[in-house]
């Protein structure tokens, strides 16, 4: 390999790492949720499968995960399961057993929540990223460190807030969760909010705002405004603001997020 080729290869690997790629797969796509017999037939037609010995070709198929339920069935199952949770610990255990979201199969672990479950303010983001998937806690990467600094600026830290995500499993490559994935997970985050019962709900980013507040406005117009939110126990105030990951890409917008956090501070003092 020439020095130029070596440099190009390293730059490509750096790009993949920044994009969230953290696993190497084969050249031929494999649908691991398809029926075993269907996948076996597809493998037999591929050049790679034809070159493998019989024992190599069939190895591991017996333990393949079952296909996930249809989105409507999964959403119904999620609603029924979420209702059964009487505490946050029970809700976590139910999520650990829930197989209705395909993201569970590709994520390292469940990312449930962080912070104080008795806090007056709850922050809800979109979905975990690579660092969160590794540590099992929300907002622990670069955006999480920025969130910590933003909280500190108004006299708060993670012992005074509760933090979660709409989707508790990391989407592959840090992609945006699909609407179906968000809807399947929605009953769980709604029950989580109900059990925490905060005085203030903060939606971090447009996907969180859309899912929880039902607003399709641009986040730049909706941020900083108070919306009513029914927790299931009472009506509280909710505010959308910019996601810390967006602020890292657009630092000039931090001034608007600062205004939002000052409004949160004022509301907590009231």
CB-side exposure of 263: number of CA atoms within 13 Å?
18
Taking alpha carbons only, the member of 164, 141, 168, 163 closest to residue 151 is 163
Same domain, yes or no: 167 and 191 = yes
What does the pLDDT average to over 232-254?
97
Q: Residue 78 region, left (φ>0) first, then alpha (ψ -120 to 50), else beta?
A: alpha
Q: Is 6 domain-assigned? A: no
Domain boundary among the residues 67, 95, 122 is at 67
**Spacing of C-alpha 33 from chain mean position:** 21
Same domain, yes or no: 152 and 110 = yes
Same domain, yes or no: 90 and 129 = yes
Range of the domain at 44: 31-67
Give the pLDDT of residue 56. Answer: 39
Instruction: Report the C-alpha gap between 268 and 262 in whole angstroms.
Output: 10
Give pLDDT tens digits for 70-94.
778 899 999 999 999 999 999 999 9
Give the pLDDT of residue 50. Answer: 41
Q: Is 87 domain-assigned? A: yes
Give the pLDDT of residue 180. Answer: 93
Tell me phi and psi for residue 195, to 5 degrees. Answer: -70, -35
pLDDT interval class at 40 (50, 70, 90): very low
What is the pTM (predicted TM-score) of this model?
Answer: 0.76
110, 168 in Cβ contact below 8 A? Answer: yes
Q: Residue 100 region, left (φ>0) first, then alpha (ψ -120 to 50), else beta?
A: alpha
Same domain, yes or no: 134 and 203 = yes
Give the pLDDT of residue 72. Answer: 82
The tokens for 229 are 């939110």
pLDDT interval class at 17 (50, 70, 90): low
What residues form DSSP beta bridges with 201? Answer: 122, 238
pLDDT interval class at 18 (50, 70, 90): low
Same domain, yes or no: 163 and 37 = no
pLDDT interval class at 66 (50, 70, 90): low
Give pLDDT tens digits for 81-127.
999 999 999 999 999 999 999 999 999 999 999 999 999 999 999 99
Domains held by the chain: number: 2
Question: What is the average pLDDT score of the chain?
Answer: 85
What does the pLDDT average to over 168-173?
96
Instruction: Report the C-alpha gap between 265 and 261 in whole angstroms.
Output: 6
CB-side exposure of 145: number of CA atoms within 13 Å?
4
Same domain, yes or no: 84 and 62 = no
What residues form DSSP beta bridges with 122? Answer: 162, 201
What does the pLDDT average to over 189-196?
98
Same domain, yes or no: 185 and 63 = no
Asked if the model's pLDDT at residue 69 lies above 90, the reply is no
Same domain, yes or no: 171 and 204 = yes
Q: Is 184 domain-assigned? A: yes
122, 193 in Cβ contact below 8 A? Answer: yes
């Amino acid at each position: 390999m020439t020095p130029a080729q070596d440099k190009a290869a390293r730059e490509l690997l750096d790009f993949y790492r920044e994009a969230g790629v953290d696993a190497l797969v084969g050249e031929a796509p494999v649908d691991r949720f398809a029926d075993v017999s269907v996948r076996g037939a597809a493998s037999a037609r591929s050049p790679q499968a034809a070159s493998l010995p019989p024992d190599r070709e069939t190895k591991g198929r017996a333990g393949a995960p079952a296909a996930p339920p249809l989105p409507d069935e999964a959403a119904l199952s999620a609603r029924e399961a979420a209702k059964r949770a009487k505490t946050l610990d029970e809700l976590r255990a139910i999520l650990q057993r829930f197989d209705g979201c395909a993201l569970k199969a590709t994520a390292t672990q469940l990312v449930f929540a962080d912070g104080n479950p008795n806090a007056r303010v709850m922050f809800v983001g979109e979905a975990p990223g690579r660092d969160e998937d590794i540590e099992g806690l929300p907002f622990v990467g670069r955006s999480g460190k920025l969130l910590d600094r933003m909280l500190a600026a108004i006299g708060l830290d993670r012992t005074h807030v509760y933090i979660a995500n709409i989707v508790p499993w990391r989407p592959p490559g840090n992609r945006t969760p699909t609407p179906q994935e968000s809807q399947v997970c929605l009953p769980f985050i709604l029950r989580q909010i109900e059990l925490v019962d905060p005085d203030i709900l903060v939606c971090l980013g447009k996907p969180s705002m859309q899912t929880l507040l039902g607003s399709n406005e641009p986040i730049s117009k909706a941020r900083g405004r108070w919306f009513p939110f029914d927790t299931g126990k009472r009506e509280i105030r909710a505010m959308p603001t910019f996601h810390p990951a967006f602020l890292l890409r657009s630092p000039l917008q931090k001034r608007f997020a600062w205004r939002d956090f000052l409004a949160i501070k004022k509301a907590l003092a009231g």
